[in-house]
Structure 1
Amino acid sequence: MPSRSLPTSRARFRPRLRTARLLAVCLTVLVPATPAVAATSPSRGDDGALQRRLEELVRAPGGPPGAIAVLQRGRETRVVRAGIADVRSGRPPWPGDHMRIASTAKAFSGAVALSLVDRGVLGLDDMLRDRLPQLPRHWGSVTLRQMLHHTSGLPDYTESPRLREILTEDPHHRFDSRRLLDFVAEERLRFRPGARYRYSNSDNIAVALMAEAATGTPYEQLLRDLVYRPLGLRNTSLPSGYRLPEPYLHGYDVNPPQPPADISEALGASGVWASGGMVSTPADLTRFIRGYVSGALYDQRLVREQHAWIAGASEPAGPGDNTAGLALYRYSTRCGVVLGHTGNFPGYTQLIAATPDGQRSLTFSVSSQINQSLAPERLRELRDVQEDFVCALLGDGTAEGKG
């Protein structure tokens, strides 16, 4: 079990600087109203095995201080948790804890965009030159479909040396989120649009800007109108600062033999915005992924468009074999298929997934950043554990897990 001791003031300060120095890696790979979602006593035969697997993940050298998984099958909900939400209090994680959801926020921008397509406000083949003529002309032929598919070729603004310099100097720097693409405005497309898959945080910034341009409405309001309210999300938001609402699952920099250092509020959210700046809870994410995957927000025609699977993995990779759709990934495991998204941010790693009909879902959150660049062996273990949870979710292997 990770140390629960309170880090010294020097230890708290050092991780903040370390986080800024590692931003080149961290950002590139982001980079009460919920009935039935509450901690329950184990009631199924595989709960003990899942509990052991989660505890092993937390107790492993360099493992996250805390982890929580919410599995829902119809109206039945199970919560499996291990470790602690806060090293100072020692309390366990809860489904109502706020947390940074990292690149799972990209699914929310997909939900907004596809909802607007469903209403005829946007088209999947709308080009940047028509909707956002202020962006570089050499990006003009990129379409909304290609940005949602990560086949746009847009250069990733989080790789900008100037962005990293700013954050190294001031991790709480308040960016104008609508000008983030200025950091790469002089750069050409990485490849011809549609030619291949390449995950880019710039894609979802441009998607949000396109949604704003088409509606004349701030993206934050579009999230409320098109996603939060229809799905009953009451603890989800897109802040611009660095504070987290209470209670929250604390995120940590884990660097043994030093005790875990709290970096929950080490970075502001304005620098990632629609690409990864959202805050939510396991309970709200459960509601979201079930509605998003099943097509509760838009017509089934668009769900079929969304399922245009191509070679490509989420960041970090999810369980099993990964293929990419429109703001959605297909995770083909040994037990069946779930659809969803992953994400990671300093202090947090996330997986949200559901069966294609939305009847079974998994929200899996840990309180440290785990990805291929920072901890490849730990990522392999995390994916193995996630796959075990998917298998428990699918249970009897019915057709809803084989789509």
Structure 2
Amino acid sequence: MRRRTPYRRLFAATLLVASVLAPVAATPATPVHAASPGPQDGGGYGHDDCPHDGLGPDLTARLDRTIEDVRKQARVPGVVVGLWMPGKGCYVRATGVADKATGRPMFTDTYVRIGSETKTFTVTALLELVDDGLVGLDDPIEKYVRGVPNGHKITLRHLAEMRSGLFPYTSDSSFVHALLSAPERQWAPPEVLKYGFKHKNTFKPGEKFQYSNTNLVLLGLVVEKVGGRPLAEFLDHRVLRPSHLEDTALPDGAEFPEPHARGYTDQTLSGKVEDATDWNPSWGWAAGAMTSNLRDLRRWAEIVATGRLLSPETQAQRLKTLPTGFPGTTYGLGILNTNGWIGHNGSLPGYETVTVYLPERKATLVVILNTDSLVGGQEPSTLLARAITEVVTPDHVYAGAIPPSRGR
């Protein structure tokens, strides 16, 4: 593959529409049992194993081949896929390796850094404050945070919809160099925001879509100020506990629960692949620093897509997605809709995830990878999600994803 500089691709603000790689011969994915789909009406979250042929032998074998084909061609070390389709069954598999040095097989109960899936949690917290009557989506950010360029015209809604016009701090070359020069560094929100604020705004508020982590760091500060406690505590109290997400958290720094797969990235100063497992994701904070696992992401997919923590009115506003400029994918309040699948994806050095829910089928798809290295300019998680949905929901194919700010 052509070598890419970190300045060109670190956490970019682009939408990618994936095309499936040409299939090659491959051995089926190794079956590994995990949580069952619970009641077939989609209402529960059981602890029993998902049967080996949970979707029937033919469809299971087809998924095994499809996933392994994409994994090998995209050079992904390890993959975990969870698919739950009420009325049809479930599919839970791990394939590849969790550690390239030791050859340890990938496993379904790995913890993972979820990158920009963090945004769904931060915006949910904000929307709970809206339901509490403590903030308004059309309040200017200047009301809560001083020093934001054009902050008197940029609203909380603009920030959550990625339509603020604020420059993405992760697209600043000096930030990228500082981050990759010391990936273990601890970052604070004001430190990252200054890299974005030194640039002119890219357009007028509401004018168009531009993915920017700057937006979500600001919303994290709003939640802290209005919620009266650190963001991690507010999320734990108002979002994670009510959702029974026992294995999801926003760490202070590089903390990473065990067990977890090693994560690999080519977002390095040298351009060579490195082990990024212990890199500090604090630079992402409210935009991308959380950790979780398959079990919790499965539960969260339905909660966020159906608005279980929000009033019907607020959830309706959340789901009013707007065009992004990329066919098949629209964006709402911290949430994407890609041909009917609602949720988000995440990517940061070493890991990628996709967590989406299809209301029409009450289906849930979770994809976990231990690399973020692009394939022909595309996210490997997008390639996998697209290939899987082409098999199981050909009328609702995962069209594309929003990778967290890979600078150009």
How far apart, in 1, do the equivalents of 2:82 and 2:381 lie? 16
Q: TM-score, normalised by structure 2?
A: 0.80
SS at match of 1:55: helix
> Please, which of 321, 332, 339 is the counterpart of residue 328 of structure 2?
321
The corresponding residue for 2:96 is 83
Q: What's 1:22 paired with? A: 6
**Structure 2 partner of 1:367:** 370
Alignment coverage as a number of residue pairs: 361
Find out whether 1:387 has 2:386 as its counterpart: yes
One-letter identity of the residue aligned with 1:44: L
Query: Matched residue of 1:312: which SS?
Result: strand
1: CA distance, partners of 2:286 / 2:168: 14
- Cα deviation digits, residues 28-87 of structure 1 (max 9, x gap): 359999733756412323111111111112222x51011111112349542022212222
- Could you tell me which amino acid in structure 2 is paired with residue 27 of structure 1? F
Unaligned runs of 5+ in 2: 16-33, 36-44, 397-408
Residue 97 (str. 1) matches residue 110 (str. 2): yes
- Residue 127 (structure 1) shift: 0.9
- Of residues 197, 201, 215, the one that matches 1:203 is 215
Counterpart check, 1:305 vs 2:317 = yes
Residue aligning to 1:347? 350
| Partner Cα distance (1:97, 1:88) in 2 | 17
Moved more, 107-116 or 76-85: 76-85
CA contact (8 A) 1:236 1:278 kept: yes
Residue equivalent to 1:129: 142
Identity of aligned residues (%): 25
What CA distance in whole angstroms lies between the structure 1 residues aligned with 2:209 and 2:14? 16
Change (3 A) 1:25 1:391: closer
Distance in 2 of aligned mates of 1:245 and 1:25: 28
The match for 1:8 is none
Distance change in 2, residues 1:254/1:152 (3 Å): closer
Change (3 A) 1:140 1:358: farther
* Deviations 1:301-345, CA, capped at 9 Å, x for gaps: 1121112221117xxx8xx7211111111111xxxx211111211
Contact 1:38 1:79 in 2 (8 A): no
Matched with 1:149 is 161
Give the alignment's Cα RMSD to 1 decimal: 3.0
Structure 1 Cα separation of the partners of residues 237 and 173 of structure 2: 36
Q: Which residue of 2 aligns with 1:229?
A: 241
Give the distance between the partners of 2:55 and 2:359, measured in 1 at CA: 23
Q: Which has the higher contact order (CA 8 A, sep 6+)?
A: 2
Which structure is higher in helix share? 1
**TM-score between the two structures when normalised by the length of structure 1:** 0.81
Say whether 1:50 aligns with 2:34: no
Equivalent residues of 1:39, 1:95 under 8 A apart = no
State the 1:357 CA deviation: 6.7
Q: Give the whole-Å Cα distance in 2 for the aligned partners of 1:184 and 1:236.
A: 28
1:347 shift after superposition = 1.5
Deviations, residues 248-269 of structure 1 (Å, cap 9, x unaligned): 02212379xx99743222x211
Structure 1 residues 39 and 268: alpha-carbon distance in aligned structure 2, compared to 1, 3 A threshold: farther
Query: How far apart are 1:97 and its partner, in Å?
Result: 0.8
**How far apart are 1:22 and its partner, in Å?**
1.7
Amino acid at match of 1:386: A
Per-residue deviation, residues 121-171 of structure 1 (Å, max 9, x unmatched): 221111111122x22353221111111110011111112233223223311
Conserved 8 A contact 1:349-1:365: yes
For residue 327 of structure 1, what is the amino acid of its counterpart? Answer: G
Q: Is the 8 A contact 1:235 1:280 kept in 2?
A: yes
Secondary structure of 1:138's counterpart equals coil
Aligned ranges 1:163-312 → 2 under 5 Å: 163-253=175-265, 261-265=274-278, 267-312=279-324
What CA distance in whole angstroms lies between the structure 2 residues aligned with 1:302 and 1:165?
40
